[in-house]
Chains A and B, each alone.
Chain A
Amino acid sequence: MNRRDRLSGNEAVAFAMKQINPDVMAAFPITPSTEIPQYFASYVANGEVDTEFVTVESEHSSMSACIGAEAAGARAITATSSAGLALMYEVLYVAASSRLPITLACVNRALSGPININNDHSDSMGARDSGWIQIYSETNQEAYDNFLQAMPIGEDPSVRLPVMVCQDGFITSHAVENIELLDDASVRALVGEYRPENYLLNPETPLAVGPYDISAYYMEHKKQQAEAMKNAKARILKVASEFEKLTGRKYGLFEAYRMEDAELALLLIGSSAGTAKAAVDRLRAAGVRAGLVKLRVFRPFPGEELAETLKNVRALGIMDKSEGFSSCGGPLFAEARGALYNLEKRPLAVNYVYGLGGRDVRVEDFVNIFGELSSIAASGKPGEVYRHIGQRD
């Protein structure tokens, strides 16, 4: 039986981890993800899980330990944020290229410097080329649901890729909200058992993992990885449909909110989408054809699907809660606008970089943005395409 409760995002993810009962957790604390290994450590200490909890000296080591464990045939998980994820950088690539479906709970926090502990997406965006599947959550419910779906996605033989489930630091991770939890049996049915075809701790199939590739081989291995990332899209949708049967909650590659006849739209990620939904509702009540697309899956990037959903929008605001310092716009803008390239008729797209270092964004801010989009649609000209909002000029 599903049950109603109220939990913070961190509590919810730790609870999901408990229900999954993985073999190994190797983690190092960092604000605002610390509570995840902290709560999970209580479960371990109380004998509520069988997990081997490996305390490590740094995040580079926590990912390395996860790689060793997963390659050995165990389910390995970890959690981190910001500089912790950055410290894992080198080995994130190894986890993906070794085709190990490790799951990582990323509680999004700004990268230093200057040092900042508050939310933005610079940490996970900085890892977007590492080969990890990246799924973003708007709420504690989504963080919980996404974490439960992560292993069935990553462990599928057509995928075999690690999965990063992201939630906004403090805004989601430390905020208690209503949530609906699955019962343990349903979680076990959903995640099943991890049965890799080949693993180190199988004496019948001796194996070595993590080779040196001369140039004669590297390109082919990367081509395999690229195909796996393409396959992940279908697998994500399949798992979502199984999840819907269990819970009634629908997930896809993104959520299209009031987009059916939208002329003005936003594309954004994470908790701000919730705030923006309130702005969309306010505008719709005033007769404005506003809508938004909340991107759930950033890797693999659902370019074709986004183009299809956005093709009739006249003016589109693509919101980035991180900088890429391309000098042309943020990372979501670059990828989304690229996806729109082949459309015969394209929306006028502008980029808003916002919310860096936890800078708050309000319903009124989104209402103002829609106002700008309306002028852009009317004039037919995007004006300045790469914009920052919320800073003191």
Chain B
Amino acid sequence: MIPKASEINERSSWKEMTQGGEIAGGGTARLVETGQWRSRRPVHLTDKCRQCLLCVPCCPDSSIPVQNGRRSDFDLMHCKGCGICAKVCPFGAIQMCGEVEE
């Protein structure tokens, strides 16, 4: 059993890493925190949201999780703050705010 991607980091020795850089485990993209790239953050205004789910497939980073046919809050570990969801929402239920409070 070769080590999983989640077990390898920048402190791993050459003996601990997989041969040839093979990446074990599925869905490993989930482990990469691209949320660090954000300088604007989406805010879900639940009182305006009609759960139309139009935002969900428009998100290029699959950062709007859906359960039982309803969307919940943003996956901020992966959301890069592109703002496409806010643009496509027909009800103004998503607002882009600064990542840092001004």
Contacts and interface: CB of A to CB of B under 8 A. Distances in A.
Task: State whether these chains interact.
Answer: yes
Interface of A: 113-114, 391-393
Nearest to B13: A392
B11 A392 contact: yes
A392 B14 CA distance: 6
B14 A391 contact: yes
A386 to B, nearest CB: 15
B12 interface: yes
Contacts of A114: 20-21
B13 A393 contact: yes
Interface residues of B, number: 7
A392 B12 contact: yes
B70 interface: no
Contacts of B20: 113-114
B7 to A, nearest CB: 15
A113 B20 CA distance: 8
Contacts of A391: 14
B80 to A, nearest CB: 21
A391 B20 CA distance: 15
Contacts of B30: none
Nearest to B23: A114
Nearest to B15: A393
A355 to B, nearest CB: 15
Question: Nearest 5 A-B pairs (CB), nearest first?
Answer: A114-B21, A392-B13, A391-B14, A393-B13, A392-B14
12 contacts: A113-B20, A113-B21, A114-B20, A114-B21, A391-B14, A392-B11, A392-B12, A392-B13, A392-B14, A393-B13, A393-B14, A393-B15
Interface string B2-43: 000000000111110000110000000000000000000000
Nearest to B12: A392
Nearest to B22: A114
A114 B15 CA distance: 16
B38 to A, nearest CB: 24
Contacts of B14: 391-393
Contacts of A113: 20-21
A281 B21 CA distance: 39
